[in-house]
Amino acid sequence: MPLDTATLAARLGRLSTALASDMLKDQNLMERAGPVLTAMTPPEPGTSIAGPVLTIQFLPGRPELRERKGPPLNFEFIDTLQPHEVVVLAAGGSLKGAVLGDMIATRAAHLGCRGVLADGAVRDLDDLADVGLPVMAQGIAPMAAHATLVPVASRCPVRFGEVTVLPDDWVLADRNGTLFLPRALAELAIERHEETALKERFSRTLLEAGFRLTEVFPLPPALMPFLEAYRTDGSVPAADAVRKALAGA
């Protein structure tokens, strides 16, 4: 059964980008790996920022782009945010003005945002900490970006650092970097990690029973039938049965 968005985001958020990269080492990640950002307000210990993206594109300002009447478009874009999404602010690396402050963060948090990534600057760090929304960015600026950057589009492909982010991507971000993944790869990373973790728990159980590292880690194919029983009900085979399986391999 496919995972719902909340469950997938929570499970993905338990992986680091380094661990996810190991789980997906047979995939092409070079064009999916974004910049290393600074945690302005970090996520909970042991977790990463993870979820489907809400992209917002900023461009350098021009008088024609500022002729539009009404509230800034990024205010309207934030109002489209769905629970568990991660806001991805594509500001072209500009640090001349902040594309996120405490008011936008407060609205995003109220809507169920899982975090904000900014390829640019943010501000109001003390108030952002009070909001409690994880925020990672390239830098900090005291002034708002409206004098230098203009929001122009959302839920569109954007350039974030040196990578392209697509509107149906999922993101995983921590202090090691950022990964922008199709949902299928996010699910694959979780599946492989959980399978690897299960094997390691089983190997650890056998080590505690007195087996040598070379016998049970990494878990050899001869012991896979025992793993299935361990997966189902946590049962551990008798030592004699394990030795017989190893001897027959």
**Residue-wise pLDDT tens for the chain (249 aa)?**
678 999 999 999 999 999 999 999 999 999 999 999 999 999 999 999 999 999 999 999 988 888 888 888 999 999 999 999 999 999 999 999 999 999 999 999 999 999 999 999 999 999 999 999 999 999 999 999 988 999 999 999 999 999 999 999 999 999 999 999 999 999 999 999 999 999 999 999 999 999 999 999 999 999 999 999 999 999 999 999 999 999 986
Q: With contact defined as beta carbons under 8 Å apart, do 75 and 81 qualify?
A: no
**Number of Cα atoms under 13 Å in the Cβ half of residue 211:** 25
Look up the pTM and report it. 0.89
Q: Nearest CA to 109 among 38, 43, 17?
A: 43
d(CA 59, CA 120) in angstroms, rounded, equals: 12
Domain limits, the chain: 5-182, 189-248
Cα distances from 35 to residues 64, 82, 85, in angstroms, run: 31, 25, 19
Q: With contact defined as beta carbons under 8 Å apart, do 33 and 178 qualify?
A: yes
Q: Nearest CA to 57 among 132, 121, 118, 139?
A: 118
- Domain 5-182: CATH architecture, name and number where available: 3-Layer(bba) Sandwich (3.50)
